[in-house]
Amino acid sequence: MFILIQQMYTVDKQKGGVMMERDGGTHYIVNEKALPIVLLKTVEAKELLKKGEVVTIHEAVDRVGMSRSAYYKYKDYIFPLYEMNKGKIITMHLILKHLPGILSEVLNQIAESEASVLTINQSIPAHGIANISVALETRQMTINIEELILKMEQIKGVQKINILAQE
């Protein structure tokens, strides 16, 4: 899972973080493995509340094992990536093996999620590898962007998928 953090941590881009600007503040996409446990517990508590599994913040923080003060400190600054992506334009970079029909399978997966493809750019395959850039409008998506990426990664020949930008 990837988590979006607002104005909290500096992320080394060489180690997988992606920096982006939005609304005057710096945002970072960070793999959950790099986050302190308190931030992950904050996201977990927010999910329990959102799903209605607990009624109060007190119940949520007790269930995940964190203090209320820590929850209040971080709750407005950390979100799962999919929460920030509804109705947005996401640009992805894909590295695909040069195999017949692989781009079609990727596009079918996008269509099944009901994302709208805005642009596709494909390089001429070199050394059996094609670079693809796809911009998607996510407003009508029936699954979150993380789920879509996981499904696309399961396609034979998909080597790598990165989110380049979010508008």
Name the pairing type of β-strands 89-97 and 158-166.
antiparallel
The dihedrals phi and psi of 136, each to the nearest 5 degrees, come to -120, 145
Structure tokens at 163: 């989110």
**pLDDT for the residue numbered 16:** 45
- Comparing 22 with 34, the larger pLDDT belongs to 34
Buried b (16+ CB within 10 A) or exposed e, 46-56: bebbeeeebee
pLDDT-derived band at 78, boundaries 50, 70, 90 = confident
Of the pLDDT bands very low, low, confident and very high (cuts 50, 70, 90), residue 27 is: low
Percent of the chain with pLDDT over 70: 78
pLDDT for res 85: 52
DSSP, collapsed to helix, strand or coil, labels residue 162 as strand
Overall average pLDDT of the 105-132 stretch: 94
With 60 as the cut, is the pLDDT of residue 13 above it?
no
* Half-sphere exposure for 70 (CA within 13 Å, toward CB): 17
- Mean pLDDT, rounded, for 140-161: 91
Q: Where are the domains of the chain?
A: 2-84, 86-166
CATH number of 86-166: 3.30.70.260
Dist. CA 23–CA 91, nearest whole Å: 18
Please tell me which residue, 139 or 79, carries the higher pLDDT value.
139
Per-residue pLDDT at 146 exceeds 90:
no
pTM of the model: 0.54
